[in-house]
Structure 1
Amino acid sequence: MTDTPPAKKTLWQAVRPFFQRKVLAMICLGFSCGLTLTLIFDTLSVWLRTVGLSLEVIAFFSLATFAYSLKFVWAPLVDRVPLPILTRLLGHRRGWMLLTQSLVMLGLWLISGLNPQENLALMAAIAVMLGFVGATQDIVVDAWRIESADQDGQGVMATAYAWGARVAPFIAGIVPLILAETLGWGFAYALMAALMGLGLIGTLLAKEGVHTIRVIQYGDLPPHPVTEGLEWGGRILLMVIAASLMGAGLTGNINLFQFTFPSPEAFDAVKSVWTSKQTGIFVQLPAVSVGLGLMFLACVPMPNVPTRPGAYLRQTFVEPIVDFFKRYENLAVLILATICVYRLADFLLNINGAFYVDLGFDLAVIGEVRKIFGVVMTIIGVTAGGLSMTRFGMKFSLITGAVICAGSNLAYAWLATQGDSIPAFSLTLAIDNISGGFAGTVLIAYMSSMISEGFAAPQYALLSSLYALPGKLLASQSGRIVESAAKGADQGGLAAPFLPWLHNLPAVSFTKPAETLGVSREALGAGYMLFFTYTAVIGFVAVVLAVWLIRVGAIKEKGEA
């Protein structure tokens, strides 16, 4: 046993691991995952808006991405169920990759042939199907990534994944918009379906890792097909209700429950409370909490009632969780808390698009800086994160990522004082994207290093859902925080100390939105500054937790026992 830190690697020693076949495969697979997620909502929402659909209808399509938050539910099935022919020919992981990528290609091709004004319901159904298939692709790609490298190599594979996953939204967010102007949206989506071929190349390049399917032990429980079918049916129904509640809470949209109301008037009354900025949080958060509770109940065995479905769920869903807590014992809660908080500050920046508009930037400028310059800066951050892990180790990289990620939010507070300055905008975006790329890559590698080889798919799916859900919950309240702070700024509220920094703003900055809100433009700017300061403070909580993890020995470098 030794506490001696590993020697710092030379630059070539840090770079050399990136020149491997599996790294190229990982880039292609990451691209495939990122392309799917972007096309089923972000780009699709632009298409829907250009044909005149309402924002309410478009927001409903965000449910297509909700499957990514719940992928831990069916990850055990993906981990365990072999596919006829494909598993024998390609192996367990690669067989699932090929299936999901083929289905994504098919779904995108089907969407390319639809007119949203005439086939909206069918398009929505295909988008939801793509969300489920895309989340399944994520499950199996993450599992293959973890199984294809030892703990010391997780940083390299996480970096390669991030390279592909970060470039894909750039391609899927720009190319279809350009092509749609001349060749139409159908051609654009058909081309995106063809680009999924890069994922197939990644699957063929990948080598199947070691994966052993554990046999379910039913003991002396005899099969009862009828009662087992009823139990599975009840559990699936409970999952659907739970997912609907969580989706309604996270999106602020309760249209899925419209059929349960006795009259349109009753539905409209509840909807007004549900979507109100003043009252929405008090019903949306409980809805998500109840949904999570129901989802948990649907996935665990019934107490004191042994059944074959219960035995299956115990060994596929409960045992991976128990394994994690057994391995890390008292440190498990601290590790999970760190994962939850590490990127929370970035999730809260979901109002940045509105912030740029309020500052007075043209949409063309926002698009060019975010889509082109921003992607380049993100790739730089991802690369820096990967090199940091391979050269300096996980401890240094985890703390560095937490510090720069939290500090980058203060750059947005500074941007609020600069108005529509393109140099200031570019600098802020560079700081944010570099830090986000760095921290995101490090977090992926850290979570991957926590996983047991026998439970790669379910454990990583659970951790990735865990770190995303709190951010999505709190992000829905970002706008309310800014507006409340702005309304109190002129009366000496918490945002008032920021007012002196905003007296020299350009005339275009915050003027129109401040008039709509009924506050001075300096007050609205102060509201934004206070909000970004809040997010930075939350980010520094992650710094404290990361330092704590290192102090108690929860992070081990190669060569440490």
Structure 2
Amino acid sequence: MADTAIEDGDGKAKKPGWGTLLRSLRNPKSGFMVLFGFAQGLPPALFLGTLYAWLSEAEVDLETMGVFSLVGLAYAFQFLWSPLLDKVDIPGLRKLGKRKQWIAPMQLTVGIALLIMSFLDPRNALGWFSLLAAIGAFASATQDIAINAWRIDVADEEATLDILSTITQMGFRLAALIGGALGLIIAERIGWPQTYLIMSGLMLAIGIASLFAPDADVAKRSAATVAANEEEVAELYNVGEVTEKVRNRALLAVGLLWAWAIGTVVVFMVRSMTAAPEDRPDVTLFTTTYGPLIVVATVVLPAFIAAWVAKQKRRGTNVIVASTGDEPKRTVKFTDHLYRALVLPLVEFVGRLGWSLVLILALVLTYRICDSIWGVFAYPFYLGELEYTGDQVAFASKFFGVFAIILGLAFGGWIITKFGRMFTLTLGAALAAATNLLYADLAAGGAVMQGGSDAIGFTALVNFIAGVFQMTDIDGLARLTFTIFWENLAIGIAGAAYIAWLSSIVAKEYAAVQYALLASLTLLVGTIGRGALGEMIEDRGYYYVFIFTAIIGVVAVALCVMEWIREARSGAASGVVQPDKHVAGS
């Protein structure tokens, strides 16, 4: 995981910086990473955002629209079926590659769902709409698992993990803009069915293009393979491995916990889809109440179980002793495959990281909280508290804001190649915390933001562009745009580093499960904390909340420094970094 210069064919070190960045961008893997990032960002925009505008125009009542918010659970709890992507091969598609066999079909499924929706009228086919949205969101979340694992698998010294992670975010943000703001503009001119027809064409085209993407040959290293690779599963019976009794106990405990979590989510979704509007359970209440319990059941408790298994193996207790050669040949059982798919990724994670896992989980839970936890309150803050108009907010957040994020991602990618991943991760955390202070000033009147905007000529630029768009109400627009610009620039830098770091700490052979678990924790913590944050806003006001989230950001900075030190010591202790030990390009 050290940040070192790359050597060329003559053995001469290439200096990191723009040259490294350009070489990475020329790699075909980078081009496919843009497509994959775009494919990850478009479905959430269409199923969780833009779709509500179509339903509103079709005069669907709010209570019925609440059912559609269920599709968001597919993204929040995608880790629940992530082991399947390491364990199961799709019949007839295995030859596409370990990851592509999931990526391309899921993208085509999303495209087909959008295509069928474009021919339906939500007034008369609301049931089909909800079913298609659920299918599309599930397929989208599934492709996310596979794409994240693909990025980790194919990274090399040229198309580095850091650059691929940055490109992922760029594609994602571009898709969010096209599926969100641009989708609304297109629909205003040609109608919703035609808009979704265009979007389905994009997804179908990407799905077809994905068939030609490179895919790492991870079959020989994969921890979860089909019957053709049963010899790998048979390694569970090697000398020094824990006994079958220990494995079965661990599998039973983890299996029951995961079964409860999956059952809880399924029961909730069935109740929500079948109950009368007045009897439907609240999605937000479910997420805030059962979300933490599901995390405990699927991450925290299994981690303790995995630690117990790793401890048995490390101490040499309850392990298979030297064989005499007279034992009958072992028959690989279904439970052995299940153990390797569900339990072993956690055993590897805990065994490799030890107590450092506590630090990593703390960083995962706090790093993105500054921008993720309050995002749902952004429009109430802009429109209600500050009394800006919808046009002003759209101008600042969609036009300047998206540009700032893309600029931040590009700048973040360059900083990673120049100064290293951990430096950029720490810088991103510091900037994200600092931008909360900018919002605190905005909540207090925005005098500092207005003065800064005036001083560097930003106000004149905003007023000029607003004039081009023929906006007449520009009072206070510059300070709002100035604040959003710097926040989104910080989000871009932090996002590039965070995805790269998150990808670097998982083991390649367990990438699908381990990354999905960590990514879901990042998503869930913001959702879980919004209820408490809403109460804090009601009691103390926005100014206090922005100061509070800035303090949380300082905690994330401190954790970044601690993780930086841990990685440096780990690299020094091992003497040299071995990319295949964790992830290529790390």
Q: Sort the TM-score into its range (normalised by shorter chain).
A: 0.7 to 0.9
**Residue 343 of structure 2 aligns to a residue in which SS?**
helix
549, 554, 565: which one aligns with 1:551: 565
Distance in 1, Cα, partners of 2:57 & 2:273? 25
Inter-CA distance 184–390: structure 2 relative to 1 (3 Å threshold): same
Residue deviations 1:453-510 (CA, integer Å, cap 9, x gap)? 211111111111122111110023332211111xxxxxxxxxxxxxxxxxxxxxxxxx
Name the structure 2 match of 1:356. 382
* Residue pairs, 1:186-225, within 5 angstroms: 186-200=193-207, 202-212=209-219, 213=222, 214=225, 215=229, 217=233
- Shift of residue 16, structure 1, vs aligned partner: 2.7
Name the structure 2 match of 1:161. 168
Matched, 1:287 2:290: yes
Matched, 1:316 2:338: no
Distance in 1, Cα, partners of 2:547 & 2:258? 43
Distance in 2, Cα, partners of 1:335 & 1:48? 41
Name the structure 1 match of 2:402. 375
Inter-CA distance 555–58: structure 2 relative to 1 (3 Å threshold): farther
Structure 2 residue identity aligned to 1:44: L
- Shift of residue 23, structure 1, vs aligned partner: 0.5
Matched, 1:108 2:133: no
Name the structure 2 match of 1:445. 500
Residue deviations 1:166-190 (CA, integer Å, cap 9, x gap)? 1001001123322323432111111
160, 181, 197: which one aligns with 2:188: 181
Name the structure 1 match of 2:150. 144
329, 345, 355: which one aligns with 2:370: 345
Residue deviations 1:344-391 (CA, integer Å, cap 9, x gap)? 111122201110102111112212221222111110011111111111
Q: 428-437 or 549-558, which moves further after superposition?
A: 549-558
- Shift of residue 401, structure 1, vs aligned partner: 0.7
Matched, 1:241 2:248: no
Inter-CA distance 4–202: structure 2 relative to 1 (3 Å threshold): closer
Structure 2 residue identity aligned to 1:340: L
Name the structure 2 match of 1:492. none
* Residue pairs, 1:62-101, within 5 angstroms: 62-88=69-95, 90-101=96-107
Question: Would the aligned equivalents of 1:238 and 1:295 in 2 still touch at CA under 8 Å?
Answer: no
Distance in 1, Cα, partners of 2:267 & 2:553? 29
Runs of 4 or more above 6 Å deviation: 1-8, 218-221, 233-237, 245-248, 296-301, 555-559
Matched, 1:41 2:55: no
Question: Would the aligned equivalents of 1:14 and 1:391 in 2 still touch at CA under 8 Å?
Answer: no
**Residue 216 of structure 2 aligns to a residue in which SS?**
coil
Q: 158-167 or 43-52, which moves further after superposition?
A: 43-52
419, 422, 446: which one aligns with 1:392: 419
Matched, 1:460 2:515: yes
Inter-CA distance 412–298: structure 2 relative to 1 (3 Å threshold): closer
Matched, 1:411 2:418: no
Distance in 1, Cα, partners of 2:200 & 2:354? 45
Instruction: Provide the alpha-carbon RMSD of the alignment.
Output: 3.7
Inter-CA distance 234–542: structure 2 relative to 1 (3 Å threshold): closer
Runs of at least 5 residues in structure 1 that lack an aligned partner in the other structure: 222-230, 249-253, 486-526
Residue deviations 1:25-50 (CA, integer Å, cap 9, x gap)? 10011101100111111011111122
Distance in 1, Cα, partners of 2:17 & 2:298? 48
Name the structure 1 match of 2:247. none
Distance in 2, Cα, partners of 1:289 & 1:159? 30
Question: Would the aligned equivalents of 1:370 and 1:429 in 2 still touch at CA under 8 Å?
Answer: yes
Question: Would the aligned equivalents of 1:401 and 1:442 in 2 still touch at CA under 8 Å?
Answer: yes
Distance in 2, Cα, partners of 1:73 & 1:195? 28
Q: 316-325 or 234-243, which moves further after superposition?
A: 234-243
**Residue 355 of structure 2 aligns to a residue in which SS?**
helix
* Residue pairs, 1:330-341, within 5 angstroms: 330-341=355-366
Matched, 1:172 2:179: yes
**Residue 211 of structure 1 aligns to a residue in which SS?**
coil
Distance in 2, Cα, partners of 1:308 & 1:293? 29
**Residue 79 of structure 2 aligns to a residue in which SS?**
coil
Inter-CA distance 109–84: structure 2 relative to 1 (3 Å threshold): same
Matched, 1:536 2:550: yes
How many residues align? The count is 490
- Shift of residue 293, structure 1, vs aligned partner: 5.0
Q: 551-560 or 180-189, which moves further after superposition?
A: 551-560
Percent of aligned positions that are identical: 32
Name the structure 2 match of 1:428. 483
Inter-CA distance 481–256: structure 2 relative to 1 (3 Å threshold): farther
Structure 2 residue identity aligned to 1:289: P
Structure 2 residue identity aligned to 1:393: G
Distance in 2, Cα, partners of 1:557 & 1:391? 19
Question: Would the aligned equivalents of 2:292 and 2:528 in 1 still touch at CA under 8 Å?
Answer: no
Runs of at least 5 residues in structure 2 that lack an aligned partner in the other structure: 7-12, 238-242, 244-252, 310-331, 447-474, 578-586
- Shift of residue 12, structure 1, vs aligned partner: 2.3
